Amino acid sequence: MRILFYTGKGGVGKTSIAAATAVRCADLGYRTVVLSTDLAHSLADSLDVRLGPEPREVTPHLWAQETDIHHNLQTHWGTVQEWLTALLAWQGVVDSLVADELTVLPGMDELANLLWINRHREAGSYDVIVVDAAPTGETLRLLSFPDVLRWWMEHIFPVHRRAMGMARPLMSAFVNVPLPSERVYDNIKELYAHLDQLHRMLVDPELTSVRQVLNPEKMVVAEAQRTHAYLQLFGYPTDLVVVNRVLPPEVVDPFFAAWKDTQATYLRQIAEGFQPLPIRTVPLFENEVLGLGLLRRMGEALYGRDDPTHIFFRGRTQTVERGPDGTFELVIPLQFAARGDVQLRQTGDELYVRVGAHRRHIVLPRALAGRHATGAKLDGPARALRVRFGSSAGDRATPAPPGPR
Ligand SMILES: Nc1ncnc2c1ncn2[C@@H]1O[C@H](COP(=O)(O)OP(=O)(O)O)[C@@H](O)[C@H]1O
Ligand SMILES: [Mg+2]
């Protein structure tokens, strides 16, 4: 089975490209389902059919669905959400650390959508799952969520649950604090297991390919480069860049001359910026790309005779290198992260990396367990983030702040 995940800024053509990919997969004989995790669905318009929350057969081998947010939330998140809402309203009950972790929760609605991937995988009814993902910002927040939730579950919850088990009868008799019920804990545990599974699937390069869709325009390219850095940081296997709406050679009207120059400039920038990833272009069509016929044309322009389920690029996103004097370096390629906006914090065998506004929680590989990060730098032609680890547990550049354990 393969999961093909299309992401990019709003309006670049994600839904069209995802739908065109799904049609092409179905035409090749794969049992394919395409689903949109974007709250603003447009898959039905793109395929020119009516869609519902359950997959519906559109053409032989192709199913499509526009998932229902409210249903998803109720299923996966119902009791937990009620409690969190109550808890957040009760200011001062949670400490700042927990409150900080809670700020990612607004992405939950779209995340509940993504959990359909688990269901399709378990059901085994499809060979290919094509995901038309939410615009860049939300998707990133969603994608980084399982790591945060994992941390939360492993460090806060066991303690919290034990304490609550003892205190609940007493406390609820005297104060108005919204206390989570056992059902809330069970709900969170189940949700965590699902998210953990989803996360595992999405970082498995044999299973998932993340593809970035962009247009040759200043703002779009800049945002896509940032997204790419974060995807690398989070370890999501990106294998292709799709540049959509490129003016085709047959457009010779002088009105478009400057546009063509501009596009040529950004196409060069994309080629330089995204290497070593392969880059494919899709022309601007004469009209909107709606319906199976035009989607087939788009798929042909994008893939030619290639199979969209092919893995177009294989690359490690995180490696450990042995340095001199028994030191190690954790190498994380971050092609577009600017110098100076990397922050590092280590607690035991865990490393918290922050690039810009995005965070990653890394459980260090065995080789690095018990060592301390002594520094990090962005360097080299590959622009990797190199995190240096001392030769023994004694080497420590900066004291780690007190951890939750
Ligand atoms: N290469 C293209 N040529 C012409 N129209 C396009 C092309 N790609 C997308 N469109 C049109 O642009 C609009 C937005 O595309 P859509 O796929 O919905 O973008 P997104 O999902 O990224 O918001 C749609 O009307 C779609 O038909
Ligand atoms: Mg869309």
pLDDT tens sequence across 228-274: 766 766 778 999 999 999 999 999 999 999 999 999 999 988 887 67
**Span from the CA of 330 to the centroid of ligand 1 (angstroms):** 40
Determine the residue of 5, 7, 16, 130 to mutate for testing ligand 1's pocket, defined as the one with the most ligand atoms within 8 A of the Cβ atom.
16
Helix axes 157-174, 136-155, angle to 10 degrees: 80
**pLDDT category of residue 378 using cuts at 50, 70 and 90:** confident
* pLDDT score recorded for residue 14: 95
Q: Name the closest-CA residue to atom 4, ligand 1.
A: 285
Q: Using N-to-C axis directions, what is the helix angle for 182-202 and 136-155, rounded to 10°?
A: 120
Identical topology for domains 1-315 and 319-389:
no
**Residue 248 DSSP code:** P
Q: How many CB atoms lie within 10 A of CB 372?
A: 19
Confidence at residue 5, expressed as pLDDT on a 0 to 100 scale = 94
- Residue 348 pLDDT: 74
The pLDDT-based confidence of 104 (bands split at 50, 70, 90) is: very low
Fold entry, domain 1-315:
Rossmann fold (3.40.50)
* Class of domain 319-389 (CATH, top level): mainly beta
245 CB within 6 A, ligand 1:
yes
**What stretch of H or E contains 99?**
helix 96-102
Ligand 1, atom 17: closest residue by C-alpha: 13
Q: What number of residues does the chain have? A: 405
- For every residue of 135-162, DSSP letters joined together read PHHHHHHHHHHHHHHHHHHHHTHHHHHH
pLDDT value, residue 140: 56
Closest ligand 1 atom to Cα of 42? 18
State what percent of residues in the chain have pLDDT above 90.
36
Decide whether any atom of ligand 1 lies within 6 Å of the 9 Cβ.
no
Band of residue 197 on the pLDDT scale cut at 50, 70, 90: confident
Strand stretches in 182-340, DSSP E: 208-214, 238-246, 279-283, 319-322, 328-333
What residue segments make up the domains of the chain, in order of their start? 1-315, 319-389
**What pLDDT is stored for residue 32 in this prediction?**
98
Å from CA of 261 to ligand 1 middle: 22
